[in-house]
């Protein structure tokens, strides 16, 4: 009987050893399966960054500024994007951006004429008001 008990203990020890040995192996295989999913997620993102956006033709069309706007940016025809850049250059050069709320622009005499007599304009409203002066 003593040998039967020893055999039973050995087989129980082997089973428990196999169970503990299988658990880490299962974790490793799960980790290996997770790794290909991560690389698969990166591939579509790389494709999107490779293709550049083309600018809208309406933004690139040369527009003639009105006489009021020409006092600020110049009278030569230029695209809307360039008009916005020149206005921001003028605002920053003359320190017309509000110090507390940076989204507001404090208009001087030249910009007040462009903004329709308003003293303070938000940067989002500015583009709307400037577009009225482009032909």
**Is 47 a member of any domain?**
no
Radius of gyration of the chain (CA): 35
Residue 124 or 35, more confident: 124
DSSP-assigned states of every residue in 26-90? HHHHHHHHHHHHHHHHHHHHHHHHHSPPPPPHHHHS-BPBPHHHHHHH-SS-B-HHHHHHHHHHH
What's the CATH code of the domain at 78?
Answer: 1.10.245.10
Query: Is the distance from CB of 120 to CB of 53 less than 8 angstroms?
Result: no
* Domain ranges, residue 112: 62-131
Mean pLDDT of 49-53: 72
**Is 44 a member of any domain?**
no
**pLDDT score, position 11:** 62
Residue 26 CA neighbour count, 13 Å, CB half: 6
Query: Domain count of the chain?
Result: 1
In the structure, what pLDDT confidence band is assigned to residue 55 with cuts at 50, 70 and 90? confident
**Is 93 a member of any domain?**
yes
**Is 51 a member of any domain?**
no
CA distances from 98 to 32, 37, 92, 127 (A): 55, 49, 10, 17
Query: Is the distance from CB of 79 to CB of 64 less than 8 angstroms?
Result: no
**Is 83 a member of any domain?**
yes
Structure tokens at 26: 């299962």
User: 78 by DSSP, 3-state: which?
Assistant: strand
Q: What is the pLDDT of residues 102-123, one digit of tens each?
A: 999 999 999 999 999 999 999 9
Name residue 121's beta-bridge partners.
Answer: 105
Residue that is written with structure tokens 């230029």 in the block: 78
**Is 104 a member of any domain?**
yes
Name residue 120's beta-bridge partners.
Answer: 106
Residue 23 or 78, more confident: 78
**Is 87 a member of any domain?**
yes
Percent of the chain with pLDDT over 70: 63
Whole-structure pTM over 0.75, yes or no? no
Structure tokens at 46: 């790389």
pLDDT over 60 at 29, yes or no:
no
**Is 79 a member of any domain?**
yes
């Amino acid at each position: 009987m003593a040998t039967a008990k020893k055999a039973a203990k050995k087989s129980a020890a082997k089973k428990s050893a196999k169970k503990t040995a299988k658990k880490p192996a299962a974790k490793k295989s799960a980790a290996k399966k997770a790794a290909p999913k991560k690389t698969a997620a990166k591939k579509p993102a790389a494709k999107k960054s490779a293709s550049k956006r083309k600018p809208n033709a309406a933004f690139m069309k040369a527009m003639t500024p009105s006489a009021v706007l020409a006092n600020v940016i110049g009278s030569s025809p230029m695209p809307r994007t360039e008009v916005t850049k020149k206005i921001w250059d003028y605002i920053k050069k003359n320190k017309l951006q509000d110090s507390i709320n940076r989204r507001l622009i404090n208009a001087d005499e030249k910009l007040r004429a462009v903004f329709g007599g308003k003293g303070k304009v938000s940067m989002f409203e500015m583009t709307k008001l400037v577009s009225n002066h482009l032909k």
